[in-house]
Amino acid sequence: MLLDGKSTVAQIRARAGSLPAKAVDEALERLLRSGHILPAVDVASDHIDAGNFFSASTSESEAAAATLRANGYFVRFAQRAAQPRKLAAGEKITVFVVEDDAQLVKLVRTYFQMEGMETRLAGNREEINAGLRQAPKPDVILLDVMLPDVDGFDVLARVRQHDAVKDIPVIMMTARATREAVLKGLERGATGYITKPFHIETVLTAVKTVLGLPGAPARADSEIKPK
């Protein structure tokens, strides 16, 4: 979900990936019925300025925009898997954690091991290449942006270009919380985006959501809000 106050409906549809245009229209209609969109707006138009959707006063809108410009966003979203996944007897999920913060890596690894998932770790370009080549292929990648010798967005773009790994869900897990960073992740094919700091349960929920595992929410967990 993108609520930035600037994109047109057509632009939002273009970024919706495999989500049908009808589903986008239905979501806008629900917002209209709930009072979050001004009734006078024609939600079927491809030329709607999303800045006209909200009924807050001008002063409230300006204050909110100033806060977002100063502080960035807290972002938490994950794209729901097209189909639920059932694990075979003895099958384990492999989570590839690309992160150079040793304390965070230890926390994530411990938590996912407690959930019965295998974790594979990488903190630089060489380790990323080795981890992607290692069998079995990871089920999901948790990817930081600020790594010592490579940019996480470039890693994401290369993953999406490589036939062997292009379909692996990738959840960005980063302190880069600006609007531009989030859009960059979406444009390069991120399946999820979670900004730091976060609760580790949020990451687990995102993993279950993108893989269609039991325990995932009934719909993808999406939230963009100011600090």
Distances (CA, A) of 100 to 7, 58, 145: 34, 43, 10
Rounded to the nearest 10 degrees, how much is the dihedral formed by the CA atoms of 82, 86, 90, 93? 20
Q: Which fold has domain 76-215?
A: Rossmann fold (3.40.50)
Residue 54 has pLDDT above 50, yes or no: no
CA–CA gap between residue 16 and residue 26 (Å, rounded): 13
Cβ atoms of 179 and 4 within 8 Å: the answer is: yes
How many other C-beta atoms lie within 10 A of the C-beta of residue 10? 13
How sure is the predictor about 53, in pLDDT bands with cuts at 50, 70 and 90? very low
List alpha helices for the chain, DSSP H. 9-14, 21-33, 58-71, 102-114, 125-133, 152-161, 179-187, 200-211
CA trace torsion 206, 220, 14, 171 (10° rounding):
0
Domains of the chain: which residue ranges?
76-215
Task: State which H helix or E strand residue 94 sits in.
Answer: strand 94-98
pLDDT at 174 over 50: yes
Mean pLDDT, all residues of the chain: 77
> For residue range 178-190, what is the model confidence (pLDDT) as tens digits?
878 888 998 999 9
- Of the candidates 138, 124, 79, 112, the one whose C-alpha atom is nearest the C-alpha of residue 203 is 112
Q: How do residues 120-167 score in pLDDT, each as one tens digit?
A: 999 999 999 999 999 999 999 999 999 999 999 999 999 999 999 999
Question: What is the reported pTM?
Answer: 0.67
Percent of the chain with pLDDT over 90: 46
